[in-house]
Amino acid sequence: MQVKLLLTKTIRPLIFVAVLFGVTFLLDSCMQFRMSKSEIDHYFENKNPKAVLKNYYVGKRKQTYLINGDSLKPLVIFVHGSPGSLSAFIDFLADTTLLKSVRMISVDRPGFGGANFGYAEPSLKKQSALLKPVLLAHKNNQPVV
């Protein structure tokens, strides 16, 4: 009787931990909001023009963005929510109708996607400062939306 009681007290917590681990693993697998460089390249494989994934550094922080379109056209910048990544707007960057009118950039906010994933910057002011180099690099005396 004591052995049965001991097994019950031992097995229940183990089952609970196993189920909790399984659910955590499942949710983590389902909640990926980012695409790898190879997935982005594959997405644009048969599209023309092809978007280009670029990186830059502000201090030690790596920032990433995806850019597509004619540099002489007005610029549209997409900034994803939280959680998210630049791939949230990938369909827009491949849209040939939009590309006739605008150049598009989709940025990874600091700490998301390919931009130091997992080390999010909570300050919007600091996030803006980290994203400012994209604007400076691609300003062309055209409107920015």
- Domain boundaries defined on the chain: 1-31, 37-138
Residue 83 CB partners (closer than 8 Å, separation 6+): 31, 33, 112
* pLDDT number for residue 35: 85
Amino acid sitting at position 31 = M
CATH number for the domain whose boundaries are 37-138? 3.40.50.1820
What value does the mean pLDDT take over residues 89-103?
95
Token output for 140:
């062309």
Contact 105, 135 (CB under 8 A): no
- Reported as a single tens digit per residue, the pLDDT across 10-42 is 666 666 655 655 554 444 444 456 788 899 999
Q: Any idea which residue has 């900034």 for tokens?
A: 79
Helix and strand totals (H; E) in the chain: 5, 4
C-alpha dihedral (132, 138, 140, 141), degrees to nearest 10: -20
* Per-residue confidence (pLDDT) for residue 17, from 0 to 100: 59
